[in-house]
């Protein structure tokens, strides 16, 4: 689900995730922004887009905003560890806080928190579930494609 109060996308959430952020009655859907976001996301899921250009307006603390800005710099098809992310923002000892900010990311996929993995290379927490994180990293070529994987069937824009 995509939502926003401005003429930029503020929140993207997975369909099965319950959130007070999206239960706010004063958000307004701007069809032009929504259409652009949907088109870019569909192109990404089809493997035709590697970076997003539509307007975003995440809301968070100064620390969260720094973490989310650093997420945007992780290249498509690459991963970094939480420690790497902490060092990127100049806070090498704030690995747990970086993890918490990563978990509070209101724009997953756009601010690619799925590209952050454990220091040992393990896939760790993701708001959409580890299966979704694995699918996104597979789409981006980070993980090998399973032999007989079926494409996702969820309606991402309901």
User: Tell me: the pLDDT tens digits for 24-62?
Assistant: 555 666 677 788 899 999 999 999 999 999 999 999 999
Question: Which one of 80, 110, 113, 117 is the catalytic residue?
Answer: 113
CA 14, distance to chain mean position in Å, is: 10
Question: Looking at residue 4, what is its pLDDT?
Answer: 45
CATH 1.10.10.10, the chain: domain bounds: 62-139
pLDDT tens track for 121-133: 999 888 888 999 9
- Under a CB-based contact definition with an 8 Å cutoff, are residues 49 and 43 in contact? yes
The yes-or-no answer on residue 113 being catalytic is yes
In this prediction, residues 6-10 reach a mean pLDDT of: 78
How far is residue 5 CA from its own chain's centroid? Answer: 19
| Parallel, antiparallel or unpaired: strands 80-81 and 116-117 | parallel
Q: What is the CATH number of domain 62-139?
A: 1.10.10.10
| Cα–Cα distance for residue pair 17/8, rounded to 1 Å | 21
């Amino acid at each position: 689900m995509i939502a926003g109060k401005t003429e930029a996308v503020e929140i993207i959430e997975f369909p099965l995730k319950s959130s007070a952020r999206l239960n706010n009655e004063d958000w307004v859907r701007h069809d032009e922004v929504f259409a652009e976001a949907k088109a870019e996301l569909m192109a990404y899921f089809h493997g035709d887009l590697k970076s997003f250009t539509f307007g975003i307006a995440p809301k968070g603390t100064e620390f969260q905003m720094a973490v989310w800005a650093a997420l945007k710099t992780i290249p498509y098809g690459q991963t970094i560890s939480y420690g790497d992310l902490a060092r990127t923002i100049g806070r090498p000892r704030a690995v747990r806080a970086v993890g918490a900010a990563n978990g509070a990311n209101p724009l997953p996929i756009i601010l690619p928190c799925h590209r952050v993995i454990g220091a040992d290379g393990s896939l760790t927490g993701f708001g959409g579930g580890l299966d979704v994180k694995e699918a996104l990293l597979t789409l981006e070529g980070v993980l090998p494609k399973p032999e007989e994987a079926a494409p996702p069937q969820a309606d991402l824009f309901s």
